[in-house]
Structure formats: C-alpha cells, structure tokens
Copies of this chain bind each other. A is one copy, B any other.
Amino acid sequence: MIDPVPSLRHTIADDLRAQITAGTLKAGARLASEPQLAADYKVSTPTLRNALALLQAEGLIEKIHGKGNFVRVPLRRLTYADGRLTPDADLHITIRTTNLRARGGLIPLLKVPSGTPLTEFLYLTHQGELPHSMARIYVPQNLAAAELPQHRSSVAKSRDQVSARLPTSEEASTLRISSTLAVLSITRVSTDTTGRVVEAALLAVPSDRAELLFTTHHATDEKGQEG
C-alpha cells in the first residue's frame, strides 16, 4: 500500500536524512561531493543526484553550484497571525518603496480605476542572515501614503486568500529556495468601515518556514445560525 519497492534513491535519501536528523551531518556542513557519495553508495551519479533531489524538495539540503551540497540551517517555523509575523529577536525587515500606477490584477484587487497612483512597499524579511519571506504591499496614494501600512488603524475588515504554489523563479532566487519547494501565497485585502480598500498585500512564504494562524469568533447568542 505504501511503497512496496524502496528504490535506491529513496534508500540513500533515507540514510542521509537520518544522518541529518541525528546530527551526524550538522547544519551548514558540506556533504561529500556527488561523485564521492555515488562511489560510497555504489550507484551512478544520476541516481545519487536523484536521492539529493528528494532531500532538496524537503528543504533539508541546499545545492550550490560549484561549491557543493550543504545541510540547510533550519529556520524556526514562525507564525503569521492577523497578517503579522510573530516578533523574533533576529528577524529584520527591509522595505523598499516604489510609486507606480494601478494596472492589471491590481485594479480589481484594490477596486481602483486603471492608472490610479499607488505606493508599493516591498518587504524582505530575513531571519538572521537567511531570507525568510517577501511581501508586496500596495496602498492608494490618496490614503496617507507617507504612513507605513502596518501603522494604519483604519482597517475594519481583512480578507486573506491562501493558496500554495511553486515559487516563481524570482522568488526562488530571492528566497534562496529550490524551485520545487512550495510557497504559501497569501493575498490580504484590507478595507475600512466604508468598504474602501485601504491596502492589498501579496505575501510569499516558503512552506518550510511558516505556518498561518486564523481565529474566527462565532456569534453563539444566536443559536442555530451555523447549520
């Protein structure tokens, strides 16, 4: 029912995975070269590389062309709650601001006419030295553009649309992840009491370094409305 014939690459991947989780291969350490590992396991190099590809997809190793294969330093799995990352000591955020005009998918998202002046905030979050996640936040310029989005207090309602997908090649290189590691993609639209869109945020978080948390309160004094 599970896997009746453990293939060579799975056997090798299992062995290396055990060494990583046991600490025999420590975080940041470089694995032996691929031809060397292939000789050790008595397989061809493509087979050895297939085994490494499995570990890469799990986020356990990082391949660096010309240098070697390295055990990934595990990032703490942070929690996104209420649209914000859990505060963390060695978390730092870089923000780049750009002015642009509404086009394409931004128009229905922000419910503005084409060409409306917008401000884009590009958030790059790092945990220590390593990239953690990235976000693009769009704000109409007529809504206190000088103010950073996270500081505005006029938000009455937020709508988070969550999906998982493979990273774009830009995201894969910026976040230094394999193109086979899924990212959680969150589109968050915040509106004020009048229903006007105050900001739209597009987040991309590698699936191995964050979980999302949503809390819903139900009106229980009006029984039966759930069914």
By a beta-carbon cutoff of 8 Å, the part of chain A in contact with chain B is: 1-3, 46, 57-58, 82-83, 150-166, 169-170, 173, 180, 182-184, 192-193, 207, 210-218, 220, 223-227
- Contacting A160 at CB < 8 Å: which of B151, B214, B226? B214
- How many Å from the CB of A206 to the closest CB on chain B? 9
* Whole-angstrom CA separation of A58 from B182 in the bound complex: 11
* Whole-angstrom CA separation of A161 from B166 in the bound complex: 20
Contact B3–A164 (Cβ < 8 Å)? no
Contact B159–A162 (Cβ < 8 Å)? no
* Whole-angstrom CA separation of A159 from B150 in the bound complex: 23
* Cβ-closest chain B residue relative to A46: B46
- Chain B residues lying within 8 Å of A166, measured Cβ to Cβ, are 57-58
- Contacting A156 at CB < 8 Å: which of B57, B164, B220? B220
Known: A160-B213, A163-B210, A165-B207. 14 other contacts (CB 8 A): A1-B170, A2-B169, A82-B216, A150-B227, A157-B217, A158-B216, A160-B215, A160-B216, A162-B162, A164-B182, A164-B184, A164-B207, A180-B180, A193-B220
Contact B164–A164 (Cβ < 8 Å)? yes
* Whole-angstrom CA separation of A212 from B187 in the bound complex: 10
Contact A161–B211 (Cβ < 8 Å)? yes
Contact A214–B180 (Cβ < 8 Å)? no
- Chain B residues lying within 8 Å of A165, measured Cβ to Cβ, are 207
Give 20 CB contacts A-B under 8 Å: A46-B46, A57-B180, A82-B216, A151-B226, A155-B226, A156-B217, A156-B218, A156-B220, A157-B216, A157-B218, A158-B218, A159-B216, A160-B214, A161-B212, A162-B184, A162-B212, A163-B210, A164-B183, A164-B207, A192-B220
* Whole-angstrom CA separation of A3 from B62 in the bound complex: 18
- Chain B residues lying within 8 Å of A153, measured Cβ to Cβ, are 220, 223-227
* Cβ-closest chain B residue relative to A3: B169
